[in-house]
Amino acid sequence: VALGTWQSSSDDVKVAVLEAIKAGYRSIDTAKIYGNEAAVGEAIKESIEAGIVKREELYVTTKVWNDAHRAEDVAKVARESLEKLGTGYIDLLLIHWPWAGKVVDFAARKLELEYVPLSETWGAMEKLVEEGLVKSIGVSNFNVQLMLDLISYAKIKPAVVQNEVH
């Protein structure tokens, strides 16, 4: 079971992560688009400094948003996330959604789509694993056809398929 941090303000998420770690949670799920990675990182740092948990006992997940599917953007946002989290490495990096585009209006879920092959995004994520910045990679909100396509060219197979269900 992971603590999800979507729709949590920075103040709320810091308290939630601290309390979750105290309660025994070891998996924390966040994303750049949530706008609270720095607060998640602060809570993790405080938990480690207080001796509640060791870094290697935690499993921190973050995600590549739709506007960062190009290879150069994947590396940039992963490094930015890592800096905010302050964890030394990312345990799991996911492609948040299988389509690329620029956010026009996040609240209204409006996106200006652009074509970026998923193979480009995945290849950039594989490089991050090779560099040691990321321990494992996966996808979120992919259907069966997209998974079959990904598996056909992936050197590193997805460690996780995370799907949002309502």
Which is catalytic among the residues 34, 59, 115, 153?
34
Check if 34 is active-site.
yes
- Measured between its terminal Cα atoms, the distance across the chain in Å is 17
10 Å CB burial of residue 82 (0-12, 13-18, 19+) is: buried
Q: Half-sphere exposure of residue 96, counting CA atoms within 13 Å on the CB side?
A: 20
- Which sequence positions are flagged as catalytic? 34
